[in-house]
Amino acid sequence: QNILVLHGPNLNLLGKREPGVYGVVTLDEINQMLEREAQELQVKSAALQSNHEGVLVDFIHAAQDQHQGILINAGAYTHTSVAIRDAIAAVNLPTVEVHLSNIYRREAFRHHSYIAEVAIGQISGFGAESYRLGLHALVDYLKQS
């Protein structure tokens, strides 16, 4: 199994960006942690980040040939992007949505997720741990199906 980890806009700034909300862990550190975790779970993983909606759509399309599941933090596009939602629906790969912050205890505009409608499930609010939990949930799902 090969998992695609996708990070959306502004997540390249993790560690420096609103540390009170998102923590001090950098994206590189999250990706390294996920790679170690994937090894332990005996799957492969590859991580990509983009600040551009269309690039994320292209990454999702390309995943169809190379990956069996997607772990995604779409950042602000979570709340706006029908295009990313449709791309996930189109490739039909099991997808787990993650967020560092708990989007439901923040501003009302963060309470709706377009991704949730096409995801197996969502993990929100545990900082970098959300990614680790999400990877485990996705791998469990893939092993059962």
Binding mask 74-93 for ligand DQA (x = CB under 6 A): -xx-x---------------
The amino acid at 8: G
Task: Determine the angle formed by the axes of helices 129-144 and 27-40, rounding to 10 degrees.
Answer: 30
The C-alpha atoms of residue 43 and residue 97 are separated, in whole angstroms, by 18
SS3 state at 50: coil
Question: In terms of CB distance, is 1 or 51 closer to ligand DQA?
Answer: 51
The C-alpha atoms of residue 80 and residue 92 are separated, in whole angstroms, by 20
The amino acid at 111: H
Q: Is 22 a catalytic residue?
A: yes
Q: What's the closest the beta carbon of residue 10 comes to ligand DQA, in angstroms?
A: 5
The amino acid at 98: V
Single residue of 5, 27, 71, 103 touching ligand DQA by CB under 6 A: 103
Question: In terms of CB distance, is 78 or 95 closer to ligand DQA?
Answer: 78
Q: Is 112 a catalytic residue?
A: no
Question: In terms of CB distance, is 3 or 97 closer to ligand DQA?
Answer: 97
Q: Does 133 bind ligand DQA (CB under 6 A)?
A: no
Q: What's the closest the beta carbon of residue 44 comes to ligand DQA, in angstroms?
A: 24
Binding residues for substrate: 73, 79, 86, 100-101, 110
The C-alpha atoms of residue 54 and residue 83 are separated, in whole angstroms, by 8
Active-site residue numbers?
A: 22, 99
